[in-house]
Each structure stands twice: as C-alpha cells, then as structure tokens.
Amino acid sequence: MSWGYVRIVRTCYNLHMSERGVAYAFWLRVRSEQATRGWTDDELKERSGIARTTIDRLAKGKRPPLARVVNSLAKALDIDNDEAHRLAGRLPGEPDQAEGEPSPAERRISAREAVLNDPDLNDQQRAVILGVIDLITGGGGEDQGRQAS
C-alpha cells in the first residue's frame, strides 16, 4: 500500500479586488486622457506607437514601464513628462496610494468613460455599447446625466 501526500493550498488572493501594479496611477491617467479625447485603443496606438497590451500591462505590472513607453504615451496625450514618469513609478515622489486613494464619489465615472476604459472590450463592442448609450441618453456622445459606480 502506498501513501500519497495531500497538499492543501491556501491562497491569500482577494478575488474581488484586482492587484495594482507600480504604474497603476499612470495607467489610470492614460485611460482618463484617452476617454476625455474619445479615442479608441486603435487611435491611441496609432498616435503613441504603443500597443494596447503594453498599455494594459501598466495597470498590473510589477516593474516600472520602459522610459520609451512613458515618453510616447505622455507626448501623445499631452501629459507633463516628469509627472508621467512619477506616475509610472520611474521617478521618486510617487503619491502614496493609501493617502491618494479617491473617495467613492471621485471614483464615479460616466458610462461612456467606463466603456472606453474597459480593457476587455474590442473596438466593435465599444461602438455598439456607445451607440446604445447614445440612444438612451439622447445621443450626441455626451453622457453627463448618467453615472456608473
């Protein structure tokens, strides 16, 4: 008779909260600026030369992004270069995440911005959802009255 070993695995992952990378603040700023301009991921890629997957890695990456990536995105989105490098974790003076955490009211974004920032949607899906938002809100691409938590 052979005895096998049973391995008990415990995880400490909080599944309802995503892990933030060192450049999360920069990723958030990039997505916010992109949404403000109404650019699709393809437009941002064309203007910055940085692939969507590289941009999405900013949110969870364990190391700061390359200077070339930060410089290209900052230039395309008119973000101050020093600020961009600080937000990306490449320069000292990065704001403390705990202290700089926005309040729930500050975390509210429009439905349009949520759709534009969702990394799981492709451009065709975004276009369909944005069309539905325009139908509901009366069109015009503005979604001022509706807020998504």
Lowest mean pLDDT among 21-30, 37-46, 75-84, 97-106: 97-106
pTM above 0.75, yes or no: no
Average pLDDT (116-144) is 80
The DSSP secondary structure of 59-115, one letter per residue, reads HH-SSPPPHHHHHHHHHHHT--HHHHHHHTTSSS-PPPTTTTPPPHHHH-EEHHHHH
Q: How much is the pLDDT for 124?
A: 93
Task: Average the pLDDT over 3-27 and give the result.
Answer: 60
User: Which of the residue ranges 8-17, 56-65, 98-107, 120-129 would you say has the lowest mean pLDDT?
Assistant: 8-17
Both tokens of 72, joined, read 């290209």
Read off the pLDDT of residues 81-129 as tens digits, 9 standing for 90 and up: 999 999 998 887 644 444 556 655 556 677 888 888 888 889 999 999 8
Name the region of 138 (left: φ>0; alpha: ψ -120 to 50; beta: rest): left
Burial of 91 from C-beta contacts in 10 A (0-12 / 13-18 / 19+)? middle
Q: Locate tokens 């807020």: which residue? A: 147
By the 10 Å C-beta count (0-12 exposed, 13-18 middle, 19+ buried), 5 is classed as: exposed
State yes or no: pLDDT of 41 exceeds 60: yes
Q: Which domains does the chain have, with CATH numbers?
A: 19-101 (1.10.260.40), 105-149 (no CATH)
Query: Which of 7 and 140 is assigned the larger pLDDT?
Result: 140
pLDDT of 55 above 60? yes
3-state secondary structure of 138: coil
Q: Which one has a higher pLDDT value, 139 or 50? A: 50
- Model confidence at 2, pLDDT cuts 50, 70, 90, reads low
